[in-house]
């Protein structure tokens, strides 16, 4: 598990800090609903790791 990925790098992957926070929070809520998938990990930590490893991709809406 990655320890403290750089926030600036994560924000760049997401497109902005706002999109980063929104995407990670939404993914953490999804993970929280499936405790078997988490193992001993916390939902937020796992969501951040997924973003860092490009497993979580942000697709901006056309309304933005």
- Domain residues of the chain, as ranges? 7-52
Would you call 4 exposed, middle or buried from its count of C-beta atoms within 10 A (0-12, 13-18, 19+)?
exposed
Q: pLDDT confidence of 39, banded at 50, 70, 90?
A: confident
Q: How do residues 18-32 score in pLDDT, each as one tens digit?
A: 999 999 999 999 999
d(CA 25, CA 49): 12
Q: How do residues 44-59 score in pLDDT, each as one tens digit?
A: 999 999 999 999 988 8
């Amino acid at each position: 598990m990655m320890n403290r990925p750089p926030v600036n790098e994560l924000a760049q992957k997401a497109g902005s800090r706002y999109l980063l926070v929104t995407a990670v929070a939404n993914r953490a809520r999804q993970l929280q609903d499936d405790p078997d998938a988490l193992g001993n990990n916390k939902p937020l930590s796992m969501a951040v790791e997924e973003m860092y490893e490009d497993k979580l991709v942000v697709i901006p809406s056309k309304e933005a």
